[in-house]
Amino acid sequence: MAVVKAVTCPVCGCLCDDIELTIRNGKIVKVKNGCAMCESKFLSHKNEHRILKPLIRKNGEFVEVSLEEATRKAAEILTKANYPILYGWSSTSCEATRVGLELAEEIGGVIDNTAVVCHGPSILSIQDVGISSCTLGQIRHRADLVVYWGSNPWSAHPRHIERYTAFSEGRFQKSAWKGYLTKVKASAAKKKIESALRRVLFRKKAFVSPKPRKGPPPTLFKEGRKLIVVDVRKTRSAEISDCFLQVEPNKDYELLQALRALINEQEIDVDEVAGIPVEYLEEIADLMIGCNFGVLFFGVGLSMSKGKLRNVDAALSLVRDLNMRTKFVIMPMRGHFNVTGVDTVFTWQTGYPYAVDFSLGYPRYNPGETSVVDILLRGESDAALIVASDPVASFPKKVAEQLVKNPLIVIDPHMSATTRMADVVFPSAFVGIEASGTAYRMDHVPLPLKKVVNPPNGVLPDEEILKRILVEVKKLKEKRLVEAA
């Protein structure tokens, strides 16, 4: 039995690196420090529907083949294609992505990562306005105002609040954990009373909860760290916050712009924006200006709702404007554990973070034109390689249909919806569990991914599989050149 310390968790963009794993007989038997998502990933990776042998579809059926045969088949598909796409990447290592980029260049394909369906719009806005940001430790040490906008860390990034923000203990800022405990106790008591009342009154309409408060709650003016949540519905994160702003669906842009005007001390003609009275917003604006160090985290609730990139544009501009008055930073809540790393590798090799088109022999970038979802929507691609992603399950139906219409190669540890539709399948090792590598946290801090157990026999890491395909592609191209000559 062995205990491995300081393991990086390959689940979400938080990339917690304090996980302790107990390993017995080549199996992970205990996970310490991790959240529920982390535990389930480490404990169940072996039990999922693993594929153990490369597969090729022959006459409509999967047939187990040798790695060499699968590699040759994949290389043939990719070299023949006129406009192949290479998609996924956010759940694999930077090292694998590096090889993927060379492969994309070699075959003149379009390479794109999952940013295109989550924070791609955020990147476009960063390219328009820039971004005032920092690493997460800076927030832990200094932030006295934490805002989550359109993101629900309690569920999607479970340790974010305790490790990096409101409940973490920093050098210049103390944890707001205690206040939260009091609050939870109070709310638990309130719930008990409510349910008791309901029981007594036989669920009649006797208990009317008070109308939503139209002004800021008193907790907003407490000492110490404050937590504000802005969302279209009351999430778990909203429940623990000091102040919850409920924005009308698809009105984030208006709300953000109104806040910008207010912090620039402009008068607003209307009385209410996005369902919130302007006087209330003035209080919020004052609070933002008055803090010593504020931070705004935003999720796909902002980048994928109506207005998309322009919502983020407004949020970035708001934070930029706030820096005239105080210190303020902003950060997207990245989902997949290495989506930040993949953007980073794309950028250093090609100059662009996602949606890179090599069809003319050099990198071109224009999301909307060179992004995989749009390419599929227009039916332009004629082959695809998917790495560590399940687009058939996550893309809109029409897009997914287009994907499976053409030759499809999948590199994945398990039998996903996409794998099931593939023509060539390479089983791969779980990076961060069965293979090592590097991943970047949502704040661009690179962290090592550890190999803690061996992959199933004969199963290779993504990086190795891609390298083999690349070698085969080069061989094929050379052969064709010789034949042509």
Partner 1 sequence: MDIAIKDGKIVERVDELRARKIYASGMIVMPGGVDIHCHIAGSEVNTGRLLRPEDHFRDFERKTPKTRSGVGYSVPSTFTTGYRYARMGYTTIMNPSMPPLEAKHTHEELNDTPMVDKGTYPLLGDWWFVLEYLKKGEIEECARYVAWMITSTKGYAIKIVNPGGLEAWGSGGNVGSIDDQVPYFGITPREIVRGLCKVNKLLNLPHTIHVHTNNLGKPGNYLTALDTMKCVEDLASEDKPAIHITHCQFSAFKGSDWRTLKSGAEEIARYVNNHSHVTLDMGQVIFTDTTTMTADGPFQYTLHELSGNKWVNHDVETETSSGIVPFRYRRKSYVHAIQWSIGLELALLIKDPWKIFMTTDHPNAGPFIFYPRIMAWLMSRKAREAVLNRINRRARNRSLLPSIDRELGFYEIAIVTRAGQAKALGLKNKGHLGVGADADVAIYNVNPETIDPSRKYKTVRKAFRQAAYTVKGGETVAKNGEILKHVKGTTMWLDVQVSEPIKITEEMKRRFREYWTVEYENYPVTEKYLEVSHPITVKANV
Partner 2 sequence: MFKMINLYPLKKFRFPVIAECVSPDVFQGKNQKEIEELEIWEGNKQKRLGELFKVEETRKEQETIITVCGDVSKVRRIGAYMTSGEITINGDVGMHLGEEMEGGKITVHGNVGGWTGSMMKGGTIEIHGNASHYLGAPYRGSNRGMRGGKIIVYGNVGNEAGAYMRKGLIKIYGKAGQFAGSRMHNGTIHVQKDSEGRVGACMTGGKIVVEGFLESVLPTFTIESIKKKVKIEEKIVEGPFYLFLGDLTENGKGKLYVSKEKNPQLSSYEKLL
Cβ closest to partner 1, residue 370 vs residue 381: 370
Using rule CB under 8 A, residue 264 touches partner 2: yes
Report 434-453 residues binding partner 1 (CB under 8 A). 438, 440, 444-448
Report 281-320 residues binding partner 2 (CB under 8 A). 306-307, 310, 313, 317
Using rule CB under 8 A, residue 343 touches partner 1: yes
Query: Which residue type occupies 194?
Result: E
Using rule CB under 8 A, residue 89 touches partner 1: no
Number of residues that bind partner 1 (CB under 8 A): 63
Using rule CB under 8 A, residue 347 touches partner 2: no
Listed ranges 4-12, 59-67, 298-306, 387-395: which one lies at the site for partner 1 (CB under 8 A) = 4-12
361: Cβ–Cβ under 8 A, 6 or more apart, which residues?
A: 108
Using rule CB under 8 A, residue 365 touches partner 1: yes
Least Cβ distance, residue 413 to partner 1 (angstroms): 23
- The single residue listed with the structure tokens 């399940």 is 390
Using rule CB under 8 A, residue 142 touches partner 1: yes
DSSP assignment of 336-383: BTTHHHHHHHHHHHHS-SS-EE-TTSS-EE-TTTSSHHHHHHTT--S-
Backbone phi, then psi, for 393, in 5-degree steps? -80, -30
Cβ closest to partner 2, residue 8 vs residue 350: 350
Cβ closest to partner 2, residue 30 vs residue 308: 308
Using rule CB under 8 A, residue 346 touches partner 2: no
Site string for partner 2, 378-407 (x = CB under 8 A): xxx-x-------------------------
Q: What is the token pair recorded at 457?
A: 């026999």
Burial call 398-436: b when 16+ CB within 10 Å, e when fewer: ebbebbbebbbbbbbbebbebbebbbbbbbbbbbbbbbb
Using rule CB under 8 A, residue 358 touches partner 2: yes
Half-sphere exposure of 145 (CA within 13 A, CB side): 24
Using rule CB under 8 A, residue 363 touches partner 1: yes
Number of residues that bind partner 2 (CB under 8 A): 41
Using rule CB under 8 A, residue 163 touches partner 1: yes
Could you report how far apart the first and last alpha carbons of the chain are, in Å? 60
Report 21-40 residues binding partner 2 (CB under 8 A). none
- The edge-to-edge listing of strands for the beta sheet with 356-357 is 61-64, 55-58, 424-427, 408-412, 384-387, 85-88, 110-113, 356-357, 364-365
Asked whether the beta carbons of 478 and 78 are under 8 A apart, the reply is no
Least Cβ distance, residue 167 to partner 2 (angstroms): 33
Q: Give the strand pairing for 85-88 and 384-387.
A: parallel
Asked whether the beta carbons of 96 and 387 are under 8 A apart, the reply is yes
Using rule CB under 8 A, residue 329 touches partner 1: yes
Using rule CB under 8 A, residue 152 touches partner 1: no
Using rule CB under 8 A, residue 348 touches partner 1: yes
Q: How far apart are CA 229 and CA 223, in angstroms?
A: 18
- Site residues (vs partner 1, CB under 8 A): 5-6, 8, 17-18, 94, 98, 102, 105-106, 123, 126-138, 140-142, 163-164, 171-172, 292-293, 320, 323-324, 326-327, 329, 343-345, 347-353, 358, 360-365, 438, 440, 444-448
